[in-house]
């Protein structure tokens, strides 16, 4: 029998003891430890061998864009312009260091997983109870558990008493799971294996004993560890687009440089001059400032997202968010408030709607839409009193609001009762508690005994089925005994269940004598049925708005949860993830993990796209869902808080961890962490991501006309034997200064109007759209004409070659300034977005103007850059040409905007 493929939950405990050669009273014999250790190894997670820090650093240079920059540095070095060479190398190093730091931080997920196993475990060996490090556990060890313990390995339970375990981090189940020891069907899903407890989950109540069946990499947590290691780390859409763009530029630049060399050879120029012209063309055509501006733009996006509750751990994730096409979100706490709330109270024949959300004890009680006074309804008072007194939890208020200390369900009952204005302290004085029967899964109820004047009364809350079986009568609205209509109650429960509500029943029993204690025998019969309270973890109102905005932006939202499918679908309808239809079956609108397991690969791919609600799914299924969506070129954002979410988060294009409820593993694996665990923050981050992508496109569409113009100037003069209007050092001056003081300021542009009313950028599309390419070519042609025009105008007016070149340099720079104002919006004019809405751009323009005045009139700069002072007439021509360039580009933009609007009509 293959030990690693056994469905332990499907075996009787006796069979397991036999398979593993142990027994519940004696445990493993010490004499067999060494032999078993050799067979099974240690209870620790394997660490994937990672690349060295040196290799990680060197990999930062393995990018086409960096190759271009290195070519530029070599070209500048060949021209013996050492300052410029080291400046370009500095840009390369800064980008490499930023990438190195970001990637080295992202390799801590498995270490965080392993840290959970470095604890002590209570085991029985040689018939003695001892404590050993969790890492030394072996299959066959007998482990004792109690409240507060972290489960040290995967155990098959053979004894438990009221054992409850929080498995949210592993399965996504938000409430503690009640455990038992009975055999379960082989196909039982992970979340429903109630006779098993799993490594790294937490015992919250009761006691139990189990036999270790899996350790280390074979545990469920170990399998997740392996999935994290094997999950693909995909290039971001930005990285893919920039890589394609860079490769294209490399070939274009090499082709043009080759053409320049051929032209020089045909003209019979000296080899030295030919080489200098080719290098000048390459230097002029390379956008040296692009990597730096990308980093600056992404960093500003990080800052803006942080102010909207989203912390970015990896810079490229900023832009990836803007390209997102599908958001897969957990339910509890992200889409919902993670605060159980009573929405309905069912008394004898009256359904009461309870307003208010969360644990805050404020809200009205309505019947048929009309507010009622609870104090005028004795039965309603009795139901709420039962929920308040038969309760071991507390509602506490702090600076952040109300929260529950104890069980979330009991917190909801406290809140609903306190909405009537009654105080717990006053009620406890009036009905002091005498005795308690705590909730036990075997009995499915909790009971408390209270004194009330000269008699005692027991209040009971529990499952509907259990309380109906022990109630003989019911109470009417006036607290009078009536026959219990079980059929009516069951129909009401079914009605609440179709809305995804969790229902608890309430009952009471009076005793005439001075009773001092209560037992299960007292609850077997004779109870009076009071009514029902139906509750749910309500949707976040802001999440409803955020999902609607996401749909407007043509982003699909899918719910992936560990909760039951009926509850998940009901919440999804309220959120707007799926359409609400009272006549449809809730369960048919979602799909479960068990159903996914039964599908073929093709059917699974169809389900990943067709369904928007996935319930009771396993970690491997979450990972498979993400991969399936990516197979169809979807850009997937995945949220998660538990260890079970980590593999899918790592596989997703953008992994999003919860800052409050999230485990260390998910935070270390994720690209982004939400500080408020709120879906609305994801939508806000997507919006900011789109703004970042827009600003990057603005920079590229602004800088490329300059590079094309400079390269074209060199090429044309080489082909036709003309005098160079620009020198290589002057080209470097233009490229370096304008990128820093002009181009970088576009990173501070505000988001375009209607940014969330358009579809995401398709992953397969080029970084530049067809209309943007046409605009770039138009700008390049206009600027090229302006440069040659200003250069020839100066020569025709009798200026020297240095003065003509100075005019050409200023024409390019001032042409860029006018283009900069036009590039501030991809669609709208400067008047719509506001001239002063980006003050950094205004400051950058003023600094650039001062620098151009310096290079034109300061003697030292004249000597270095071979420039000379100009008179007034060239300036008038340059400014006039700049206004003409701006006017033509704005006209082209308005025509394009008119055409796009006509298409939409």
Cα–Cα distance, 793 to 42 (Å, whole number) = 83
Q: Active-site residue 641, yes or no? A: no
Report whether 731 contacts 284 (CB < 8 A): yes
Cα–Cα distance, 515 to 854 (Å, whole number) = 99
The answer for 421, left when phi > 0, alpha when psi is -120 to 50, beta otherwise, is left
* CA 452 distance to own-chain centroid: 53
Q: Which residues are CB-neighbours of 674 under 8 A, at least 6 positions away?
A: 309, 310, 311, 334, 639, 656, 657, 658, 659, 681, 682
C-alpha dist (Å) from residue 550 to 77, 387, 622, 757: 50, 40, 22, 9
H or E stretch including 459?
Answer: strand 455-462
Q: Is beta strand 636-640 parallel, antiparallel or unpaired with respect to 654-658?
A: parallel
C-alpha dist (Å) from residue 603 to 482, 598, 616: 54, 9, 18
Report whether 736 contacts 286 (CB < 8 A): no
Tally of CA atoms within 13 A in the half-sphere of 748 that contains its CB: 16
Q: Which residues are CB-neighbours of 903 under 8 A, at least 6 positions away?
A: none
Alpha helix segments (H runs only) across 590-672: 593-597, 601-610, 619-631, 646-651, 664-669
The catalytic position among 141, 154, 330, 641 is 330
Report whether 317 contacts 301 (CB < 8 A): no
Integer Rg of the chain from CA: 36
Cα–Cα distance, 213 to 142 (Å, whole number) = 10
Report whether 297 contacts 312 (CB < 8 A): no
Report whether 547 contacts 575 (CB < 8 A): yes
DSSP-assigned letter for residue 23: -
* CA 717 distance to own-chain centroid: 53
Task: Reduce the DSSP state of residue 88 to 3 states and report it.
Answer: helix
> What is the residue whose two structure tokens read 């679908």?
569
Of 322, 172, 302, 330, nearest to 654 by C-alpha is 322
Which residues on adjacent β-strands are paired with residue 872?
none
Task: Reduce the DSSP state of residue 370 to 3 states and report it.
Answer: strand
Report whether 787 contacts 808 (CB < 8 A): yes
C-alpha dist (Å) from residue 331 to 469, 560, 777: 34, 7, 48
State the catalytic residues: 330
């Amino acid at each position: 029998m293959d030990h690693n493929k056994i469905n332990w939950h499907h075996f009787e405990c006796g069979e397991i003891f036999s398979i593993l050669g142990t027994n519940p009273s004696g445990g493993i014999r010490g004499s067999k430890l060494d032999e078993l250790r050799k067979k099974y190894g240690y209870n620790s997670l394997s660490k994937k061998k990672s690349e060295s820090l040196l290799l990680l650093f060197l990999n930062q240079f393995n990018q086409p864009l960096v190759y271009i920059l290195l070519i530029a540095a070599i070209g500048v070095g060949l021209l013996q312009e050492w300052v410029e060479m080291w400046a370009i190398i500095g840009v390369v190093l800064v980008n490499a260091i930023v990438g190195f730091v970001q990637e080295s931080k992202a390799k801590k997920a498995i270490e965080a997983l392993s840290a959970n196993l470095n604890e002590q475990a209570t085991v029985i060996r040689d018939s003695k109870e001892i404590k050993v490090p969790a890492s030394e556990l072996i299959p066959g060890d007998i482990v004792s558990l109690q409240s507060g313990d972290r489960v040290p390995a995967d155990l098959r339970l053979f004894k438990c008493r009221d054992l409850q375990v929080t498995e949210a981090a592993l399965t996504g189940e938000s409430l503690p799971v009640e455990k038992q020891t009975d055999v379960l069907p082989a196909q039982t899903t992970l979340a429903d294996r109630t006779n098993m407890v799993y490594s790294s989950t937490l015992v919250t109540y009761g006691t139990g004993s189990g036999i270790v069946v899996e350790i280390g990499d074979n545990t469920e947590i170990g399998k997740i560890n392996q999935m994290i290691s094997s999950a693909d780390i995909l290039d971001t859409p930005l990285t893919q687009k920039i890589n394609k763009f860079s490769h294209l530029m490399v070939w274009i630049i090499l082709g043009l440089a080759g053409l320049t060399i051929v032209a020089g050879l045909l003209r019979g120029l000296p080899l030295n001059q030919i080489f200098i012209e080719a290098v000048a063309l390459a230097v002029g055509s390379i956008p040296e400032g692009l990597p730096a501006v990308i980093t600056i733009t992404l960093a500003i996006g990080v800052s803006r997202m942080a102010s909207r509750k989203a912390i970015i751990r990896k810079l490229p994730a900023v832009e990836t968010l803007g390209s997102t096409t599908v958001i897969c979100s957990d339910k509890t706490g992200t889409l919902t408030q993670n605060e159980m709330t009573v929405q309905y109270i069912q008394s004898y024949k009256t359904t009461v709607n309870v307003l208010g959300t969360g644990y805050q004890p404020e809200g009205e009680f309505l019947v048929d839409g009309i507010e009622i006074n609870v104090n005028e309804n004795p039965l309603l008072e009795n139901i709420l009193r039962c929920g308040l007194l038969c309760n071991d939890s507390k509602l506490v208020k702090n600076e952040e609001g109300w929260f529950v200390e104890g069980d979330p369900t009991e917190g909801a009952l406290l809140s609903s009762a306190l909405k009537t204005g009654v105080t717990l302290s006053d009620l406890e004085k009036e009905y002091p508690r005498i005795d308690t029967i705590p909730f036990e899964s075997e009995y499915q109820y909790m009971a408390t005994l209270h004194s009330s004047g000269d008699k005692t009364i027991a209040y009971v809350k529990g499952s509907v089925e259990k309380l109906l079986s022990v109630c003989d009568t019911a109470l009417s609205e006036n607290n009078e005994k009536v026959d219990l209509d079980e059929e009516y109650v069951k129909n009401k429960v079914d009605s609440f269940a179709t809305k995804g509500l969790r229902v608890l029943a309430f009952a009471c029993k009076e005793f005439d004598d001075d009773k001092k204690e209560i037992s299960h025998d007292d609850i077997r019969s004779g109870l009076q049925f009071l009514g029902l309270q139906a509750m749910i973890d309500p949707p976040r109102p802001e999440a409803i708005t955020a999902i609607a905005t996401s749909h407007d932006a043509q982003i699909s939202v899918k719910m992936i949860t560990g909760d039951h499918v009926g509850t998940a679908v009901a919440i999804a309808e309220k959120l707007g993830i799926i359409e609400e239809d009272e006549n449809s079956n809730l369960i048919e609108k979602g799909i479960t993990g068990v159903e996914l397991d039964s599908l073929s690969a093709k059917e699974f791919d169809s389900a990943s796209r067709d369904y928007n609600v996935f319930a009771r799914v396993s970690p491997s299924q979450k990972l498979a869902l993400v991969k399936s969506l990516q197979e169809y070129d979807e850009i997937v954002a995945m949220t998660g808080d538990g260890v079970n979410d980590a593999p899918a988060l790592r596989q997703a294009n953008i992994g999003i961890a919860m800052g409050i409820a999230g485990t260390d593993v998910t935070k270390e694996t994720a690209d982004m962490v939400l500080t408020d665990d709120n879906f609305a923050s994801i939508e806000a981050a997507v919006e900011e991501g789109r703004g970042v992508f827009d600003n990057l496109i603005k920079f590229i569409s602004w800088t490329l006309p300059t590079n094309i113009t400079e390269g074209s100037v060199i090429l044309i003069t080489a082909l036709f034997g003309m005098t160079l209007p620009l020198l290589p050092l002057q080209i470097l001056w233009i490229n370096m200064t304008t990128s820093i003081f002009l181009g970088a300021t576009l990173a501070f542009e505000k988001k375009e109007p209607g940014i969330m009313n358009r579809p995401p950028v398709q992953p397969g599309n080029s970084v530049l759209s067809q209309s943007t390419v046409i605009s770039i070519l138009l700008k390049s042609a206009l600027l090229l004409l302006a440069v040659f025009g200003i250069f020839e105008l100066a020569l025709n007016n009798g200026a020297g070659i240095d003065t003509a070149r100075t005019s050409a340099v200023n024409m390019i720079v001032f042409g860029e300034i006018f283009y900069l104002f036009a590039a501030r919006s991809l669609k709208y004019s400067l008047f719509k977005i506001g001239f002063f809405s980006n003050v950094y751009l205004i400051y950058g323009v003023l600094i650039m103007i001062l620098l151009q005045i310096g290079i034109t009139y300061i003697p030292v700069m004249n000597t270095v850059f071979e420039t000379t002072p100009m008179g007034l007439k060239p300036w008038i021509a340059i400014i006039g040409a700049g206004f003409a360039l701006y006017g033509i580009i704005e006209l082209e933009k308005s025509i394009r905007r008119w055409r796009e609007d006509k298409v939409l009509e």
